[in-house]
Amino acid sequence: MTADTDTILAFDVGSKRIGVARASSLTRLPQSLKTLNVDDKIFDSIADLVSEEGASKIVLGLPRNLDGKPTQQTNYVMAFRDKLNKKLDIPVYLTDEAVTSVKAEEELKAHGRPYAKGDIDALAAVYILEDFLHAHQEVS
């Protein structure tokens, strides 16, 4: 892929699953991609995904309390980012993920069809990427 059409990946990081979304840096339209199960090979799986997708950037949702204070999950995501930085040679950005999972679950419920927890995670990753792209118009 050329620099004009590379991919940005976003992750809704959990301790069991990671929702993944992608967007072309050209079209900047996030879409749900998949859910990864967290295991001892998760960083290899992410590296493979980065290569397959031609990703040039990663965005991680950063969870915090509603008052903005860090949580145990905030620390988990920060440690996750540090491991990704050691594994990959592309930038890893953090962006606030406030209520993205709640919003995703509400949207899925509104459709009235059955869904799994992984569907919530993947849709939350779409919202994380949307928020990032809106906040960082110059990042492409």
- Number of structural domains in the chain: 1
Q: To which residue do tokens 């995501």 refer?
A: 77
Q: List pLDDT tens digits, range 32-71.
A: 999 999 999 999 999 999 999 999 999 999 998 878 888 8
Please report, to the nearest 10 degrees, the dihedral formed by the alpha carbons of residues 26, 31, 36, 41 taken in order. Answer: 0
Residue 17 placed within a domain: yes
CATH number at residue 101: 3.30.420.140
**Do the domain assignments include residue 39?**
yes
Tokens of 34: 């998949």
Judge whether 140 lies within some domain: no
Domain that holds residue 91: 3-135
- Report the pLDDT value the prediction gives residue 138, as an integer from 0 to 100: 61
Length of the chain measured in residues: 140
The closest alpha carbon to 125, from 106, 103, 109, belongs to: 103
